[in-house]
A and B are shown apart, each in its own frame.
Chain A
């Protein structure tokens, strides 16, 4: 399987009063047309990894990598022009909360059309494709949602519209940062189902960033477990029960279960060695 994204020794550092602080410390992985999960707790650097790949690291942050290739294009020091060509068309990002990612004063339809219209597509074609996209994310009444403003949609609808907008350019790579955390469980699974179809039908590569190890393990093919800016374990999702790193095991065990009684819940004893 040829990799569409290759990351080697990715580092992200932010300046602070005590000198630069590295929040991502040497992350390496290759992504094919598959679903890769990145799991970690808050502060593990998982979101920073995703943002760095898309060149969205906040101002002041410094990104370095030995290799950061997207489909053969070196993303290190890519010019704004190259980013414009890539973002939205070949690579996209879905964020946690659609409220912050959708323009509140533009209709959903217009935003999707704008996202899909780069590169000489006629207005009519773009609209048809936007409606098609809304249908693809299982919005029952695409016409209504097309003319709606973001605040008129529920959380689940908004997130679907967001996904439609991110996918209308038919990207090869989608980075989803906690795309379902703000949603109710039942809606969450529907949205995951949509992402799953898109990976399968279109051969898209998906990086799924989440704090929820159980969800990721049921959804993704492969999981990277991050701790303090490092990948402490890389494992096929199916083999998660046989995880060897104590952090991964700890994360799995500390969740309460419906069918099993564990009292007190096993807690995670952090080891300073993990962060080394």
Chain B
């Protein structure tokens, strides 16, 4: 299979011995180049841990993660970070409070020895819909939506192929969420990016991803396509519960 990113029988365990907590219990999925793959689940389902494990931020206790068919070495090498980048959930926590936007964006360029940093930073800000007037601001001078745009610009500045999105809009207001989702959509189309998007919001995943996996208690309960989801062709009870819940409250109390 010509998957760009594949995860096979992945397990993640935090802690040791009696305190060990298995956050991910043997999950598998594959994402083709240019595809957008979603992972839906409630808190504690292990969905974010999967992304962190791919990046080397969570301790993998079993299984295989492969990029272009080759297992990713641990610890990650510099070239991995130029191919895979991540956007975090909380834009208020993911930008260094004492660094200007310019520093946030030019530091990865410096680490990887890119030239023409100033021009690249300006272009990156332009790409995410922020003018160059934002370049020398501090994060606290920005709104949540603007911060998340900066975080997206930071993830894209090394020109990666794969973007891991960990609840990229759940900390934002609905109207800002729409803007950020549109931005992500446009960037993917323009650059042929591959997305793995994690969210608790079924509607966001259905909007952004062609294929999705539903996770519960560290396992994938069901994998289905967007069309199957729209056609209410979910096979598992849990998926159907999530679908129903996403429609809002019902007076008859049936949840």
Touch between A and B in complex, CB under 8 Å? yes
A binding-site residues for B, Cβ under 8 Å: 41-42, 155, 184-186, 188-190, 192-193, 196, 211-215, 217-219, 250-251, 254-259, 263-268
What's the Cα separation between A211 and B243 when bound, in Å? 20
- CB-based contact A190/B182 at 8 Å: no
Residues of chain B within 8 A (CB-CB) of A211 are 173-174
Residues of chain A within 8 A (CB-CB) of B243 are 258
- Residue B181 at the chain A interface, CB threshold 8 Å: yes
Nearest 4 A/B pairs, CB to CB: A218-B248, A256-B207, A254-B178, A184-B42
Q: 1/0 contact trace for B146-182 toward A, CB 8 Å?
A: 0000000000000000000000000001111111011
Residues of chain B within 8 A (CB-CB) of A42 are 144, 173
Extra pairs beyond A213-B174, A255-B178, A268-B175 (12, CB < 8 Å) = A185-B246, A186-B241, A186-B255, A189-B245, A193-B253, A196-B253, A217-B248, A258-B203, A258-B229, A258-B243, A263-B185, A265-B207
**Considering only CB atoms and an 8 Å cut-off, how many residues of chain B contact the other chain?**
35
What's the Cα separation between A185 and B244 when bound, in Å? 10
CB nearest to A187 among chain B residues: B42
Could you show 29 A-B contacts with beta carbons less than 8 Å apart?
A41-B174, A41-B175, A42-B173, A155-B43, A184-B200, A186-B42, A190-B255, A192-B249, A193-B249, A193-B253, A196-B253, A212-B174, A215-B249, A217-B248, A218-B249, A218-B250, A250-B175, A254-B174, A255-B177, A256-B204, A256-B207, A257-B203, A258-B206, A259-B230, A264-B186, A265-B181, A265-B182, A265-B207, A267-B175
CB nearest to B251 among chain A residues: A196
Q: Please tell me which one of the listed residues A186, A214, A268 contacts residue B178 in the complex, with CB atoms under 8 A apart.
A: A268
What's the Cα separation between A219 and B253 when bound, in Å? 11
- CB-based contact B200/A251 at 8 Å: no
Distance to closest chain B CB from A219 (angstroms):
4
- CB-based contact B246/A258 at 8 Å: yes
What's the Cα separation between A132 and B182 when bound, in Å? 49
- CB-based contact B178/A189 at 8 Å: no
Q: Tally the A-B contacts, defined by beta carbons under 8 Å.
A: 92
Residues of chain A within 8 A (CB-CB) of B174 are 41, 211-213, 251, 254-255
Known: A184-B42, A258-B202, A258-B243. A265 touches B178 (CB 8 A): yes
Q: Give B195-220 interface residues, CB cut-off 8 Å to A.
A: 200, 202-204, 206-208
CB nearest to A188 among chain B residues: B245
What's the Cα separation between A266 and B174 when bound, in Å? 11
CB nearest to B169 among chain A residues: A256
Distance to closest chain A CB from B195 (angstroms):
15
- CB-based contact A41/B173 at 8 Å: yes
CB nearest to A255 among chain B residues: B174
What's the Cα separation between A48 and B8 when bound, in Å? 49
- Residue B130 at the chain A interface, CB threshold 8 Å: no
- CB-based contact A219/B182 at 8 Å: no
- CB-based contact B207/A185 at 8 Å: no
Residue of A155, A218, A219, A255 with most chain B CB atoms under a 10 A cut-off = A255
What's the Cα separation between A267 and B247 when bound, in Å? 21
- CB-based contact B175/A251 at 8 Å: yes
Q: Please tell me which one of the listed residues B175, B179, B208, B248 contacts residue A214 in the complex, with CB atoms under 8 A apart.
A: B248
Distance to closest chain A CB from B90 (angstroms):
14
Residues of chain A within 8 A (CB-CB) of B179 are 267
What's the Cα separation between A185 and B203 when bound, in Å? 12
Distance to closest chain B CB from A164 (angstroms):
19
- Residue B242 at the chain A interface, CB threshold 8 Å: yes
What's the Cα separation between A42 and B245 when bound, in Å? 24
